[in-house]
Amino acid sequence: MQKIISSDNDHAQLDEWIVKNNVKRLMLVSGASIKKQEINSYFETLHDRLCTDIIRFSGFSPNPDYESIVNGVELFRENNCDAIIAVGGGSAMDVAKCIKLYCRMDGNGEEGSYLKQTIIPNDIPFLVMPTTAGTGSEATRFAVIYYNGNKQSVAHESCIPDTVLMDAQALKSLPDYHRKASMMDAFCHAIESAWSVNSTEESRKYAYDAIQLIMEHKDGYLANSDEGNRGMLLAANMAGKAINITQTTAGHAMCYKITGLFGCAHGHAAALCVRILYLWMAESIADDGMECIDPRGKEHLKGVLDDIAHAMGCDGAVSGAECFGSVFDELGFSIPDATQEQYSILKTSVNPDRLKNYPVRMDEDTIDMLYHRILR
């Protein structure tokens, strides 16, 4: 069971984690932005207070490659580290997850050897502190890295951090656009997980709780209040727990190429897609104008769409979809203009595996039609 701790009382609970795990040589995985965070001074004084040495690793890019993972593993081993803490967004957490997975495995990581080996779980203490409220990476078994320029998904239960430090102050310096996009990423995670064909009673509970938290704390989070930031961190964690069970669906499958073609932030691109997919499904299912591929049937899907809406404080599926669209509009997100050539690229870019998780059958013509609604 993942434990959530706070930064109260000068990070007393983090001190307890370090002492309890007898951490003497700690690998700290973070980007350069950690120097703007209050937590940085905590680590700078850690040796004097608890006799714990810090080995910092920041040699990775926003889209971390395999070589940087290998370098991190080597640094971990050379310094005989006995625990890992990651401070940052999804990239820092993905790097730390992979270092945690591979640091006890054989080989030097050349020629992608870690990617080819069977992962052997280890009990290295692993804590993360998210500095955005969106990815939910701190709650999932997934990490994304790049090998020879190709995206590689790494997945194993043992890379889920045992402890998450939630610090509202960590979100204070988020740029406005990034703050909005992160929130919408968590919102999309929760909605997509709820309607996924892989959903369970447990995953839907996480998803609905996340949606309620987002709606409850949205205004405070956008105003950069401590309470709003804390609420959104918890919402993103809940949404992460949901997609850890179900994975994402068509919204995320369709958004990745939009990010590349138009330079949108990931959460912005996901929200562009989900706002249309949600409304299309809500309207189509009411008119029996779609083929449900969830083995639990159309009535189950209708119930889920209603439950998503109820978690948002709305009466039914269509009003829930309209509410999501209104949130998107209120945030002032742009809707990119697309050329016919870009539409042609988009309709063939979708990951078919993620479409299998979406509860409605989609062919290339349907995808093309939806992209024409998603974009201008």
**CATH code of 140's domain:** 3.40.50.1970
**Phi, psi of 298, rounded to the nearest 5 degrees:** -70, -35
Number of domains, the chain: 2
Q: Are residues 166 and 195 in the same domain?
A: no
Looking at the fold, whether 101 and 198 belong to one and the same domain comes out as no
Q: Tell me which H or E stretch contains 151.
A: strand 150-155
Q: Do residues 140 and 232 both lie within one domain?
A: no
- Judge if 331 and 312 occupy the same domain: yes
- Are residues 205 and 318 part of one domain? yes
Residue 77 φ then ψ, to 5°: -70, -45
Q: Which helix (H) or strand (E) holds 28?
A: strand 25-30
**Successive 10-residue mean pLDDT values, the chain, 376 residues:** 95 98 98 91 96 97 94 97 97 97 84 89 97 97 93 94 97 96 98 98 98 98 98 98 97 95 97 98 84 95 97 97 98 97 95 90 94 97
pLDDT of residue 228: 98
Same domain, yes or no, for 154 and 187?
Answer: no
Query: Scanning the structure block, which residue is given the tokens 């938290």?
Result: 213
* Domain boundary pick from 170, 193, 218: 170
- Fill in the amino acid letter for 365: D
Same domain, 124 and 248: no
Are residues 187 and 310 located together in one domain of the fold?
A: yes
Does 180 lie in the same domain as 72? no
Question: Looking at the structure, do residues 126 and 188 belong to the same domain, yes or no?
Answer: no
Residue 151 sits in the same domain as residue 47: yes
The CATH number for 319's domain is 1.20.1090.10
Which residue type, as a one-letter code, is found at position 362? Answer: M
The SS3 assignment for 339 reads: coil
Nearest 5°: phi and psi at 23? -80, 120
Q: What is the pTM of this model?
A: 0.95
Instruction: Clarify whether residues 85 and 203 are in a common domain.
Output: no
Structural domain containing residue 285? 176-374
pLDDT of 110 reads: 75
CA nearest 269: which of 281, 247, 253? 253
Last residue of a domain, one of 170, 196, 224: 170
The pLDDT value recorded for residue 197 is: 98
Q: Which is it for the CA torsion 183, 322, 366, 197, positive or negative? A: positive
Where is the domain boundary, 170, 204, 230? Answer: 170
